[in-house]
Each structure stands twice: as C-alpha cells, then as structure tokens.
C-alpha cells in the first residue's frame, strides 16, 4: 500500500535521498516548477547543496474544466498540446489561443515576481534536475523538458514524489533519468497522496528562493 506524504517538504526530503549521487556536483542545478514544485525542489537543492532555480511553464486547461490539461505553454509562448484531448473534446483553435494568451500573461507575471529582473541560470552543459510535486497528465513537465532541452544541458533528470505510471513510462524515454517515489493504482489525483496539499503561494516561492540564496550575487 502506498503511503501518503505529510506535505511537500517531506516529499522533497524523501526524493533527495534518491538523488545523493548528485550531491555537491558543480554542474548540477535543481529547477522547481512553480508553484507547487518549488517547496519540493528546495528540499532537494538544500540536501544536495546545489543551486536552485525555477522553470517557468504552465498548464493549458480545457475550457470550462481548467484542472484537465489539454497541453502546456512556456515563457516563450511555445505551446505543447495533447492532440488526443484536443481532438476528443473538439477544442477549437480559438479556444486554444485564448487559453494560451491567458496563461502566457500569468507566466510573464511570475517571471517578474519571482526573478526580480534576474536572468535565469544558463543551463548549457549542466545536469538539470527538474522537480514538480506530482505528475498526472505530465503536460507541464513535457513543456519543461522541451524548454530545457533547447538549452543543451548535459543531462536532464526528472524527480517527482508521485505520478501516474503511464506518464512515468512515457517521460522516461525523453530524459536521462526519472525518479518517482510512488506510482499508485488507482491514481485518483496528486492531492490524494498528500495529507497537506494546500496551494503554494507566491510569497512562499519567494521565501524559498531567498533562503536558497537565489538572489545573492
């Protein structure tokens, strides 16, 4: 039987124990997917004693049911669509464009708030550990992987506490390593596997980046 995580902190601490081979490595960087992935990523970066940054991508929700992902978008406005969902639900190009415009504005807002005009860390030649608090459809993580691949890292490692097994198998073929602690069946939803799954706030993200020394020169 799969054990529930107390919260994102405990999940990150447990994940870190599976990533100790990367501790103190000068080329390693941990990227958290805001907002919920950042508390998990912080625990990993702290345990491994490596830098923490963020990867700004966002889910594109189905019109009328935003919790269901029809794809995702990155900060450059590139959309990564789930063609099966788009076709099955007959989602129009106009609806996709409208959702993309809304989520791009949110990404741009997060970029201003979280980075405070600081440029992202160069990922070329780095070993990138990209972290979220869970994977359901995997749409956001797929966008993150593609955005990171465009920067020519040496390796990409995906680390998540909880995921749907089908997504793990799919994503494993696109990265160097995928670490997932539990793949429950039936899956239900990510939040079912946390005792505390409160929404992470902008203030919490900023506090964790501050604590990690992200804003230090």
Both 150 and 192 in one domain: the answer is: yes
Which of the residues in the chain have pLDDT under 70?
Answer: 1-2, 215-217
pLDDT of residue 69: 84
Strands (E) in the chain, as ranges, are 28-32, 52-54, 57-62, 65-74, 79-81, 127-131, 155-162, 177-182
Q: State the distance between the two ends of the chain, measured CA to CA, in whole angstroms.
A: 46
The tens digit of pLDDT for each residue in 118-135 reads 888 899 999 999 999 999
Both 71 and 136 in one domain: the answer is: no
pLDDT of residue 116: 84
Query: Residue 88 is part of which domain span?
Result: 59-113
pLDDT of residue 1: 47
Both 94 and 196 in one domain: the answer is: no
Both 48 and 136 in one domain: the answer is: yes
Domain count, the chain: 2
Both 133 and 41 in one domain: the answer is: yes
DSSP per-residue codes, 87-99: HHTT--HHHHHHH
pLDDT of residue 2: 65
């Amino acid at each position: 039987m799969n054990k529930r995580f107390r919260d994102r902190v405990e999940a990150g601490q447990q994940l870190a124990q599976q990533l100790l081979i990367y501790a103190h490595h000068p080329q390693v960087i941990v990227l958290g997917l805001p907002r919920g992935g950042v508390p998990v990523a912080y625990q990993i970066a702290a345990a491994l004693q490596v830098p923490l940054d963020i990867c700004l991508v966002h889910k594109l929700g189905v019109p009328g049911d935003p919790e269901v992902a029809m794809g995702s978008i990155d900060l450059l406005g590139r959309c990564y669509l789930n063609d099966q969902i788009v076709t099955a639900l007959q989602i129009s190009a106009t609806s996709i464009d409208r959702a993309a415009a809304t989520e791009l504005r949110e990404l741009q807002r997060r970029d201003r708030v979280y980075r405070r005009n600081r440029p992202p860390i160069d990922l070329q030649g780095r070993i990138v550990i990209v972290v979220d608090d869970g994977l359901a459809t995997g749409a956001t993580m797929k966008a993150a992987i593609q955005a990171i691949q465009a920067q020519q890292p040496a390796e990409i490692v995906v680390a998540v506490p909880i995921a749907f097994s089908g997504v793990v198998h799919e994503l494993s073929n696109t990265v160097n390593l995928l670490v997932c602690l539990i793949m429950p069946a039936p899956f239900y939803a990510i939040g079912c596997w946390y005792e505390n799954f409160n929404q992470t706030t902008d203030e919490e993200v900023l506090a964790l980046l501050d604590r990690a020394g992200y804003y230090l020169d």
